[in-house]
Amino acid sequence: MSTFLDRRVFLEQGLRLSLATAAAGALPLAQAQSEERSADKMGEMRSDALASQHKAGQAFSNYGMPSVYEKRVIRLIGSNRMVSGNGVSWTPLESLEGIVTPTGLHFERHHNGVPDVDPARFELLMHGMVARPLRFDLAGLLRYPLQSRLIFIECGGNSNAGWHEEPMQKPVGSFHGLVSCSEWTGVPLNYLLDEAGIDSKATWAIAEGLDAAATEVSIPVSKLREDALLALYQNGERLRAENGYPLRLVLPGWEGVRQVKWLHRLEFTDQPVMSRNETGEYTQLLPSGKAEQFDFVMGPKSLITSPSHGQTLGLPGVYEIRGLAWSGHGSVAKVEVSADGGQSWSTAHIDGPVMSKCFARFRAAWKWNGKPAVLQSRAKDDHGNIQPTRARLLAERGRNGYFHYNAIVSWAVDSDGTVRHVYA
Amino acid sequence: MSTLKIARIVQLPPLLLASLLFSFSSLTTPLAHADSTASTPSPMGKPLDTGSITRLAPNIYPNGQGLPDGMGLAKNGSVLYQAHCANCHGSKGEGATAQGLIGGDGPLSAHDADKTILTYWPYATTLIDTIARSMPPAAPGHLSADELYSLCAYLLAENGLWARDQPMGPKELAAIVMPNRNGFIRKFP
């Protein structure tokens, strides 16, 4: 019977393993452990590892890049054959740690490519049902008090392969990786709303981007007042082009399609525009044949990122279950893990600090006995929302919801140590 | 600024120095950060000439607000469709590398529900709004108002929602009631 261990126990038992892994460098799970078993090989490796002490290293660089040995940690791209700028790229969640997604690995969803926006000519326009139609240049925006927040952004269509009849046999990031977490710094939109004088009858704002799809969506003014951020910086530097340079809307906890990149226009109005991205797309068809519309908040969700599909365990022993949890409603209150397909659960440790509408990194020590196991995690948020089982999600929302899939994900560990995606 | 004042600023802790930027007070009496955010920041918006707004691509609403003046015919739309759309959406609108635009099997409660313009889209104005701002992908935003109405007339006629020989303009397009108009449950407001 495989068991979860107290974290402190794991730390003692796992000490030897983690030291050996560190010495061997970042090797795949199984490889690191087979290296551990071969003392002679370790000796050779140490000697190679010391070679760098006997020659001069590389010079300085103006902008640092990932190690040349990490070239395989990339976004996988899925785009339209005829319109190469329409599609997605996935964050490789299985290769990452902590809660901040490296900026260059933040997922992308573009409708017609990444526009080239000249910051010198950029203006944000506010018009419609306002007392004072206004335009703002970047220098003006940078004069407002700024706010920084760690916020996850998840595409409304993330994980929709969960609706497939058969479980997708791909690494976790390649079908759950339309979610990323960054520190966003920008101007609380509230300041600008007051300045323009929004008509009390204006309940909606239509946000439009400068991309070649002129992507437009409707956003309740109440959300803009509550916590919307006009983001100028991501993880300390100005936005990357593919994340909305020079300005994007950040709406904490809401589906990504609302968080308009290359934001240049907000029209205030008393009705939604009913754009394609809030009618034909990004609406959730229910078994009744009716569809839910304007369901903005991303529900509680968690994923085990290690071990996960495509990875291989070595010898039976103690492993750390590692994963991510988040909720668009607020903070992650609890993450539980199971090694028996959800029959029994243990509470996972969450690295602090736990922040609202932000990734939480969870960990649990698991002693694998070498027999088949099914690993699962489930998240609960501070509003009492619990991540559903796949069976429950399908029972409530049918087969054609397509958006906002947040069911529990299962990884089967076989006795040979291979890990694959299953429905359990 | 006098040398004396510069010296005084440099000696301030970074947080206080930053808050100076948002203070209406003199430099010698900086506000604490919490106070500065509670006060109104200097307004940076410049008046927007509402005349310039009309040059932007309009947002087109279900009630017809934002619809451009113009008139189109399905037979012209058919020619435009073959020139600009068929390559991705299929020569008969059946779908290819992009989704189908013509037809669709109901009902939406079926196990393999077919979500199309005909079966799913609640408003015809969404069609012209989408085409006007984003189609065709290689050169979006260049179709004239007459061309847009012609394309809408063609697609809606092929979907059985418009009489093929009837001219379509803003009034006609806004008056079309799509089959799934009442198929949505609004979670907001």
Chosen from A274, A278, A294 to mutate, greatest number of chain B CBs within 10 A: A274
Q: Is B51 part of the contact surface with chain A (CB cutoff 8 Å)?
A: no
- What is the distance in angstroms between the Cα of A351 and the nearest Cα belonging to chain B? 28
B128 is a domain residue: yes
The confidence score (pLDDT) of residue A6 equals: 66
| Structural tokens at position B93 | 């609108």
Q: Return the pLDDT at A343.
A: 97
B88 with B119, same domain: the answer is: yes
User: pLDDT by residue (tens digit) across A129-187?
Assistant: 999 999 999 999 999 999 999 999 999 999 999 999 999 999 999 999 999 999 999 99
Q: Are both B10 and B65 inside the same structural domain?
A: no
Burial category of A345 from C-beta neighbours within 10 Å (exposed 0-12, middle 13-18, buried 19 and up): middle
What is the Cα–Cα distance from B66 to B68, expressed in whole angstroms? Answer: 6
Question: Is B183 within the bounds of a domain?
Answer: no
Please determine, for residue B35, whether its predicted confidence score (pLDDT) is greater than 80. no
Residue A134: which of B22, B37, B48 has the nearest Cβ? Answer: B48
CB proximity list for A65: less than 8 A, separation 6 or greater:
none
Task: Strands of A244-386 (E only): list them.
Answer: 248-250, 263-269, 284-285, 291-293, 301-306, 317-326, 332-338, 346-347, 349-350, 360-368, 373-381
State the residue for tokens 């802790």: B13
Inspect the interface and report whether the beta carbons of A125 and B186 lie closer than 8 Å.
Answer: no
How much of chain B, in percent, has pLDDT values that exceed 90? 72
pLDDT value of position B61: 98
Query: For residues B167 and A247, what is the distance between their CA atoms, to the nearest angstrom?
Result: 42
The answer as to whether B54 is a domain residue is no
Looking at the domain assignment, is residue B142 inside a domain?
yes
Say what the ipTM of the complex is. Answer: 0.89
Q: What is the CATH number for B77?
A: 1.10.760.10
Contact list in A for residue B113 (CB cut-off 8 A) is 285, 289, 400
Residue A42: pLDDT band by 50, 70, 90 thresholds?
low
Claim to verify: residue B104 and residue B151 sit in the same structural domain: yes
Residue A7's pLDDT is 57
Q: What is the pLDDT of residue B33?
A: 55
pLDDT-derived band at B53 (thresholds 50, 70, 90) equals: confident
* Average predicted confidence (pLDDT) for chain A: 92
Q: Which of B41, B60, B140 sits opposite A145 (nearest CB)?
A: B41
Name the strand (E) or helix (H) holding A219.
strand A216-220
Mark whether B102 and B152 lie in a shared domain. Answer: yes
Residue B167 lies in a domain: yes
Residue A238 has pLDDT above 80, yes or no: yes
Q: Are residues B156 and B69 in the same domain?
A: yes
- pLDDT of A38 reads 55
Give the model's pLDDT for residue A300.
98
Over range A295-309, report the average pLDDT.
98
**Average pLDDT rounded to a whole number, residues A302-312:** 98
Residues 6+ apart with CB under 8 A from A229: A147, A149, A151, A184, A186, A187, A188, A189, A249, A250, A252
Q: How far apart are CA B27 and CA B21, in angstroms?
A: 9
Statement to judge: residues B87 and B151 lie in one domain: yes
CA dihedral over B171, B173, B174, B179, signed as positive or negative: positive
Banded pLDDT at A40 (limits 50, 70, 90): low
Minimal CA separation from A354 to chain B, in Å: 23
Number of domains present in the structure of chain B: 2
Amino acid at position A304, single letter = I
- How much is the pLDDT for A39? 54
pLDDT surpasses 50 at A20: no
pLDDT band with cut points at 50, 70 and 90 for residue B56: confident
On whether residue B170 sits in a domain, the answer given is: yes
Q: Are residues B99 and B138 in the same domain?
A: yes
Give the per-residue pLDDT at A118: 98
What is the per-residue pLDDT for A49? 83
State pLDDT tens for residues B77-108.
999 999 999 999 999 999 999 999 999 998 99
Interface of B with A in 3-22 (CB under 8 A): 21-22
| Residues 271-330 in A contacting B (C-alpha not used; CB under 8 Å) | 271, 273-276, 279-280, 283, 285-296
A41 pLDDT more than 80 = no
Rounded alpha-carbon distances, angstroms, from residue A334 to A348, A377, A387: 8, 10, 11
Confidence of residue A406 (pLDDT cuts 50, 70, 90): very high
Backbone angles phi, psi at A278, to 5 degrees: -135, 10
| For range A257-275, the mean pLDDT | 98
3-class state of residue A400 by DSSP: coil
Same domain, yes or no: B30 and B90: no
B133 touches chain A (CB under 8 A): yes
Nearest residue in chain B measured CA to CA from A293: B186
Q: pLDDT at position B40, please?
A: 82
Q: Compare CB distances from A280 to B50, B61, B121 and report the shortest one's residue.
A: B121
Indicate the helix (H) or strand (E) that contains B16.
helix B14-20
What proportion of chain A, given as a percentage, has pLDDT over 70?
90
The kind and range of the H/E element at A231 are strand A229-234
Distances (CA, A) of A311 to A10, A17, A74, A212, A407: 21, 17, 17, 39, 22
pLDDT (mean) for B120-143 = 97
pLDDT band at A209 (very low <50, low <70, confident <90, very high): very high
Domains along the sequence of chain A with CATH: 108-292 (3.90.420.10), 301-422 (2.60.40.650)
For residue B121, tell me if it sits in a domain: yes
What is the span of the domain harbouring residue B30? 3-38
Is B98 part of a structural domain of the chain? yes
Pairwise CB contact (< 8 Å): A214 & B184: no
- Does the distance separating the beta carbons of B43 and A135 come in below 8 Å? no
Percentage, residues of chain B above pLDDT 70: 78
